[in-house]
Structure 1
Amino acid sequence: METIQNLVEYYDELFPVTQAQYDFYTGLMEEFQKPVKFLTIGCGTGVMENYLAKQMTDVTGLETIKDLLESATRKHRTQLMSLRFFKMSTIEMVRFLGKNFYNVISCLNDRIIFIHDKILLRKFFFDCKQLLAKDGKIILQLSNYNLYKNKSSSVMPEISSVRVSLSSKLEYVNDEEYAFSRNIKTGSGKILPVYQKASVYPIVPWEIEDFAKEAGFTSIEYFADFEKNLFTPQSPSMVVVIK
């Protein structure tokens, strides 16, 4: 069960775009011929997409959650930017988006785990390969699920802002099935549910490598964060660059 509307008000402060992330994507812009074409899967409220579009890039944001998509659309205040948002899932994107078009495809903030079926995850990598132009890249940002996989229940690191905190729990159901629960706690102590036992697939590094290679990608780099610090088995999160 999802109650995403409880998250929308606090989304930008719980998942801020950091200076390191801006710098990381600015570096990506320098690798391709202008205008660089970006696609974000699970774009949330569109903060990063609006920033990229202001740099004279071509930006497409996909979002399945109506409330987040509406927030992203409200931020798009000028028609002079090459920026568009669509309510679209990863299953649909290869049917409706231009093939061999995008230089960079991003899926950040753990959104990839909500592609909760292993077959659909494989399809995700194959579809990204079709959508990417020559020498294009996938950027993934997610937790290091090697720290949690196959444990009966794991409490993940809390995310907090000045006003609220966000707690998350991953539960092993059976075989390859996992349930993800997430709650917001306000300053007054009120608990607001976001996800209640949502089906997820906590993909781990070796699976990313297998799926990427199956789809025809040849290079994978892991970092602990957008500052490109060294990723280790104990790193709580990772940024993955696939090309």
Structure 2
Amino acid sequence: MELYENIAEYYDELYSAGDDVKKFYEEETKSFAAPVKYLSIGCGTGTFEHYLAKGNADVTGLETVNQLIESANRKRRTQLMALRFFQMSSLEMCRFLGKAFYDVITIPNNRIIYTHDTTLMAKLFFDCKQLLTPKGKLIIKLPNFEKFKIEPSVKLPVRESIRVKLFTGIKTSPDGKKIVSQELETGNGKRLTVTEGAEILPLTKNQIEQYAKDAGFTKFTFYADYKRNEFTPKSDDLIVVIS
């Protein structure tokens, strides 16, 4: 069960899009004609999506968590921006969104691992391929599970802001499932549950490449961070650009 309501207030500060993120996406989209068409799967509170739209991109954000999508919509100051948010699962997107329309599909902030079923993960990659333009790119960020092995359990690096810390632990259940739990710790030491007992699929570099190849993608570039440092088995994170 996922209890995201406790993180909504702190989401922007914990998952802020810094200059490295902005520069990374600017470089990845130089070859596309304006306006660049983005689809953000798991857009959270939509702060980065608003930044993209202000830069004349055409942006669609998908989010399943009610508190987060409400926050994203509250940020909209004008209806003239090419920006829209839908409370929608990635499993539904091919039914409602235009095929061969998007230049970039991004799945940020480790959200891809919550697609915990292997069949549904294969569908996700296939659907992304259908929604992208012929030269479009799929960009994914997640923890490096070659480093953070979940046998029997592992703690991911703490994510923190001035006000809170986010602790993430993953364990292997008796039936072999990978289960994530998250807690916030506020400045006064109070603990708030964010995610409890949510099943995930901890994708590795090789698994991502295989899912993507099966869906029809042919090119893969892996990075350790948004500064484009080389990915290694010791990297904390994995960022992949797929086309």
TM-score between the two structures when normalised by the length of structure 1 = 0.97
Which secondary structure does the structure 2 equivalent of 1:208 belong to? Answer: helix
> Take 1:102 and 1:205, find their aligned partners in 2: how far apart are those partners?
24
Which secondary structure does the structure 2 equivalent of 1:69 belong to? Answer: helix
2:202 alignment partner in structure 1: 202
Say if 1:168 and 1:180, in contact at 8 Å, map to a contact too. yes
Alignment-mate amino acid for residue 119 of structure 1: T
Structure 1 residue 29: Cα displacement: 3.0
Which secondary structure does the structure 2 equivalent of 1:145 belong to? Answer: coil
2:239 alignment partner in structure 1: 239
In structure 2, do the counterparts of structure 1 residues 174 and 220 end up closer, same or farther at CA, with 3 Å as the change threshold? farther
> Take 2:121 and 2:52, find their aligned partners in 1: how far apart are those partners?
27
Say if 1:176 and 1:201, in contact at 8 Å, map to a contact too. no
2:100 alignment partner in structure 1: 100
* Larger deviation, residues 19-28 vs 158-167: 19-28
Say if 1:149 and 1:202, in contact at 8 Å, map to a contact too. no
Say if 1:4 and 1:67, in contact at 8 Å, map to a contact too. yes
Say if 2:40 and 2:61, in contact at 8 Å, map to a contact too. yes
Structure 1 residue 33: Cα displacement: 1.2
Which secondary structure does the structure 2 equivalent of 1:149 belong to? Answer: coil
Say if 1:116 and 1:199, in contact at 8 Å, map to a contact too. yes
> Take 1:172 and 1:240, find their aligned partners in 2: how far apart are those partners?
26
Which secondary structure does the structure 1 equivalent of 2:135 belong to? Answer: strand
Count of aligned pairs: 243
1:193 alignment partner in structure 2: 193
Structure 1 residue 163: Cα displacement: 0.7
1:177 alignment partner in structure 2: 177
Once superposed, which parts of structure 1, at least 4 consecutive aligned residues long, lie more than 3 Å away? none
Aligned ranges for residues 75-154 of structure 1 at < 5 Å? 75-154=75-154
2:44 alignment partner in structure 1: 44
TM-score between the two structures when normalised by the length of structure 2 = 0.97
Return 5+ residue gaps in structure 1 as ranges: none
How big is the alpha-carbon RMSD for the aligned residues of Structure 1 and Structure 2? Answer: 1.1
Q: Percent identity?
A: 49
Alignment-mate amino acid for residue 90 of structure 1: S
Alignment-mate amino acid for residue 195 of structure 2: Y
Alignment-mate amino acid for residue 152 of structure 2: S
Return 5+ residue gaps in structure 2 as ranges: none
Say if 2:150 and 2:170, in contact at 8 Å, map to a contact too. no
Which secondary structure does the structure 2 equivalent of 1:78 belong to? Answer: coil
2:65 alignment partner in structure 1: 65
